Amino acid sequence: MTLVFGDDPKDFDSGIGAVRWFGEDGALYVECRVGVMALTKRCGAEGLANREMMRAFNAHKGRIEKAGRRKYEFGNFVIERDPAEQERRVIVLGVDDL
């Protein structure tokens, strides 16, 4: 299990309160999420605006992606299914992960 991140777009999803981005493990797509609390407490985000969440994410991208890889390698992800019953692995990073 090797998780690789590309330069795919990242976005702040206020509905789930997290910055989302995707990685790949061979043919598997892995959704990664880092929550608002982690971005404010560990990455210096000031305020809940999309722009501020993305600034904090980009300033700490290397550390955040490293934490995502570590969780994935230890099997710390959840499996979600979309309406077409496609499996997706999801990593959620919180304050303690950073």
List, for residues 40-55, the tens digit of each pLDDT value. Answer: 999 999 988 999 999 9
What the block records as the tokens of 78 is 């959840």
* Average of per-residue pLDDT across 19-29: 92
Class of domain 4-97: alpha beta
What value does the mean pLDDT of the chain take?
93
pLDDT value of residue 15: 92
Smallest CA-to-CA distance from 88 within 27, 34, 44 is with: 27
Stated length of the chain: 98
